[in-house]
Chain A
Amino acid sequence: MIGIFGDSFSDEIDTSIGGYLGGWPSALGKLYDEEIENFSESSTSISYSYQKFCEQDLSKYSKVVFVVTYPTRQLLINNAEHKSIQFQGDVTRSIQHNKDFNIDLTLSDKRVLEYQENITAFYPDTWNFVKRAVKGDVLHSHKNALVLDVELLGTITTLGLNTPMAPWFTTPKGEEWHTKYIETAELGRVCHFSTQQNIELAVLIKDYFDNGIDIHNEIKWHTDKYFTIPESMEDAGLKLRR
Chain B
Amino acid sequence: MIGIFGDSFAYEGHGSHVNVGWPTYLSDLYNEENQNFSISGSSIPYSYQLLCEKDLSIYSKVIFIATEPRRLHFVDKKTNKEMLWNGRDVPGSIICNSVDTYSSYDTSYDGVALRYQEYITAMYPDSWKWMAKAMRNDVVRKHENLLLLDIFELSFISNLGAPDRPWHIDWTEDNNIRSCHMTKLQNRELAGYIKDYFDNGFDIHNTLKSDTVKEYYTEPLHHESGFVKK
Contacts and interface: CB of A to CB of B under 8 A. Distances in A.
Interface of A: 47, 50-51, 54, 74-80, 83-85, 108-109, 111-112, 115-116, 118-119, 122-130, 132-134, 136-137, 140-141
A119, A122, A133 interface centre (most CB from chain B within 10 Å): A133
B74 A130 contact: no
B76 A124 contact: yes
A122 B76 contact: yes
Given A50-B134, A112-B120, A122-B113, A129 B76 contact: no
B75 A128 contact: yes
Contacts of B138: 132-133, 136-137, 140
B113 A130 contact: no
What 6 A-B pairs come out closest when comparing CB atoms?
A: A115-B116, A123-B74, A76-B124, A136-B138, A133-B134, A125-B75
Contacts of A136: 134, 137-138, 141
A129 B49 contact: yes
Nearest to A131: B134
Contacts of A122: 74, 76, 110, 113
B76 A123 contact: yes
A162 B117 CA distance: 41
Give the interface size class of chain B: 35 or more
B141 A130 contact: no
A133 B117 CA distance: 22
Contact of A75 (B74, B117, B127, B135): B127
Nearest to B133: A54
Contacts of B76: 122-125
A126 B75 contact: yes
A129 B119 contact: no
Nearest to B110: A122
Contacts of A79: 125-126
Contact of B48 (A76, A108, A129): A129
Nearest to A124: B76
B113 A119 contact: yes
User: B-side binding surface: helix, strand, loop or mixed?
Assistant: helix
Nearest to A141: B137
B120 A132 contact: no
Contacts of A111: 119
B154 interface: no
B131 to A, nearest CB: 5
A76 B74 CA distance: 17
A134 B134 contact: yes
Contacts of A133: 48, 131, 134-135, 137-138
Contacts of A134: 134
A116 B120 contact: yes
A168 B123 CA distance: 47
Interface in B91-146: 110, 112-113, 116-117, 119-120, 123-127, 129-131, 133-135, 137-138, 141
B54 interface: no
Contacts of A137: 133-134, 137-138
Nearest to B117: A119
A77, A128, A140 interface centre (most CB from chain B within 10 Å): A77
Interface in B125-176: 125-127, 129-131, 133-135, 137-138, 141
A77 B113 contact: no
17 contacts: A50-B130, A51-B130, A75-B127, A77-B126, A112-B120, A115-B120, A116-B120, A118-B112, A119-B113, A123-B74, A123-B76, A130-B45, A130-B134, A132-B52, A133-B48, A136-B134, A137-B137
B75 A140 contact: no
A191 B120 CA distance: 31
Contacts of B110: 122
